[in-house]
C-alpha cells in the first residue's frame, strides 16, 4: 500500500529525512514540506549547517617538526634492519 | 619560514583530495633529507603511490605533502589539542610507511589512509579513558547523546550565515562518533559509501549518524544563539 507522502506526520517525515537527504534527492520538493513550516525550517537549518561545514575544509597544517620526526623515525627503523 | 627538509604544502588540492595531481616534487639533498622542487609537469598521483609502495622515500614525502593537511585537521578536530594532533599525525604516517605496501587499491588511497588515521585517533581516545574501544562503539553513541526530535520547537530559523567559530565549538562538543561522521562527510567531502568503508558500517548507518550529528549541531547553535540574545 502506498502512503500519501503529503499526509505524513512530522515524525514520519523526519524519520525518512536521513535517507532522503543522503540519497541526494531534492527534498525541498517533498509534498510534506508544502504545508509544514516546521519541517521546512528544519531542512533549511540542516542545509545551512552542511553548507557552513564546507567552509571549514582543512586550512591548517602540521608544523615542519612532524615531518622531521617522521623522517627520523623511518631512518632509525631502516638502521635496525 | 618553512624548513627546507619539509615537503612543500600542496595548495592546489581539490576538496576531495582524490585524483589530485602533485604540484611539487622533492630532491634528495646532501644530508639525506628531501628538499622540495617544482617539477616541470604535474606528477600522476598513482605513479607517486606506486613509487612509495616500492620504498621510494622521495615519493613517500610527496604523499605526506598531499595528505598532511587533511589527516592533521581530522586529528586536531578529534582531539582538540595541537601537540596531540601532531603526534597522532606522525603516528598515522609512520603506520602508513609500515603498511603502504599492503594497499591493494580496493578503495581510494585517501579512504584507506583516513581509515588508518581514524584507528590511530580512536586508539588515543581509548587511552585517554573515553569508551571508544572500536569503530563500532564510536558509531553508536549512547542513547542520551542522541538528538531530540525537533518538531514543535518554537524557534527553528537559524541566522542565514553560521559563525565559523560557533560551528567549530559546536562540532568540538559533539560525541566522538557523530563528530567523526560529520567531519568526514560535511567537512572533508567523503561520500557515504566511502565513510561506510572507512568505518566498517552500513551506508544507511552513515546517513543516519550524519543526520543525528547535524541535528545535534542545530540544537547547539540554537542554544548558543539564544544565549547571545539574552540581555
Query: Where do the structural domains in chain A lie, given as residue ranges?
Result: 5-80
| Residue B105 DSSP class | S
For residue A15, pLDDT beyond 80: yes
Say yes or no for a CB contact (<8 Å) between B207 and A56. no
d(CA B72, CA A66): 10
Per the CB < 8 Å rule, is B214 touching A46?
Answer: yes
**Higher-confidence position of B185 and A2:** B185
Query: What residues contact residue B28 under an 8 Å CB cut-off, 6+ apart?
Result: B34, B35, B57, B58
In chain B, the domains with their CATH numbers are 25-127 (1.10.1740.10), 135-147+156-229 (1.10.10.10)
- In chain B, what residues touch A43 (CB-CB under 8 Å)? none
Interatomic CA distance for residues A20 and A9, integer angstroms: 15
pTM recorded for the entire structure = 0.78
Q: What is the pLDDT of residue B7?
A: 53
**What ipTM goes with this model?**
0.85
Does the distance separating the beta carbons of A65 and B214 come in below 8 Å?
Answer: no
From the list A52, A54, A70, the residue facing B93 with the nearest CB is A70
Mutate to test the interface with B, among A8, A19, A70 (most CBs of B within 10 A): A70
Contact residues on chain B for A60, CB-CB shorter than 8 A: 69, 72-73, 76
Among candidate residues B226, B218, B222, B123, the one with its CA nearest the CA of residue B176: B123
The answer to whether A76 contacts chain B (CB < 8 Å) is: no
The answer to whether B27 and B18 are in contact (CB under 8 A) is no
To which H or E segment does residue B37 belong?
Answer: strand B34-37
pLDDT tens for B40-94 read 344 568 899 999 999 999 999 999 999 999 999 999 999 999 999 999 999 999 9
Q: What is the pLDDT of residues B212-223, one digit of tens each?
A: 999 999 999 988
Q: What are the two backbone dihedrals, phi and then psi, of residue B43, each rounded to the nearest 5 degrees?
A: -95, 135
Is B34's pLDDT higher than 50? Answer: no
In order of B15, B170, B230, the CA distances from B223 in angstroms are 31, 10, 11
- Residue B181 C-alpha from the chain's centroid: 10
Amino acid at each position: 500500500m502506498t502512503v500519501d507522502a503529503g499526509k505524513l506526520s512530522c515524525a514520519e517525515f523526519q524519520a525518512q529525512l536521513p535517507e532522503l537527504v543522503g540519497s541526494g534527492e531534492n527534498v525541498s520538493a517533498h509534498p510534506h514540506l508544502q504545508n509544514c513550516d516546521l519541517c521546512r525550517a528544519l531542512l533549511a537549518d540542516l542545509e545551512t549547517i552542511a553548507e557552513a561545514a564546507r567552509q571549514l575544509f582543512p586550512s591548517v597544517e602540521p608544523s615542519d617538526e612532524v615531518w622531521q620526526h617522521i623522517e627520523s623515525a623511518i631512518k632509525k627503523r631502516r638502521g635496525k634492519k | 619560514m618553512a624548513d627546507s627538509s619539509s615537503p612543500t604544502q600542496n595548495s592546489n588540492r581539490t576538496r576531495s583530495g582524490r585524483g589530485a595531481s602533485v604540484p611539487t616534487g622533492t630532491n634528495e639533498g646532501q644530508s639525506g633529507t628531501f628538499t622540495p622542487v617544482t617539477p616541470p609537469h604535474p606528477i600522476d598521483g598513482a605513479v607517486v603511490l606506486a613509487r612509495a609502495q616500492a620504498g621510494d622515500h622521495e615519493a613517500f614525502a610527496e604523499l605526506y605533502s598531499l595528505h598532511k593537511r587533511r589527516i592533521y585537521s581530522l586529528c586536531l578536530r578529534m582531539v582538540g589539542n595541537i601537540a596531540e594532533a601532531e603526534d597522532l599525525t606522525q603516528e598515522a604516517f609512520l603506520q602508513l610507511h609500515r603498511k603502504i605496501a599492503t594497499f591493494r587499491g580496493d578503495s581510494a588511497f585517501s579512504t584507506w589512509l583516513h581509515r588508518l588515521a581514524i584507528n590511530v585517533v580512536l586508539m588515543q581516545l581509548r587511552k585517554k579513558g573515553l569508551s571508544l574501544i572500536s569503530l563500532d562503539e564510536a558509531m553508536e553513541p549512547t542513547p542520551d547523546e542522541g538528538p531530540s526530535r525537533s518538531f514543535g520547537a518554537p524557534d527553528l530559523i537559524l541566522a542565514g550565515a553560521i559563525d565559523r567559530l560557533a560551528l567549530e565549538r559546536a562540532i568540538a562538543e559533539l560525541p566522538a562518533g557523530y563528530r567523526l561522521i560529520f567531519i568526514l562527510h560535511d567537512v572533508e567531502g567523503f561520500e557515504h559509501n566511502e565513510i561506510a568503508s572507512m568505518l566498517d558500517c552500513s551506508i544507511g548507518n552513515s546517513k543516519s549518524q550524519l543526520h543525528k550529528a547535524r541535528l545535534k549541531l542545530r540544537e547547539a547553535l540554537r542554544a548558543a544563539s539564544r544565549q547571545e540574545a539574552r540581555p
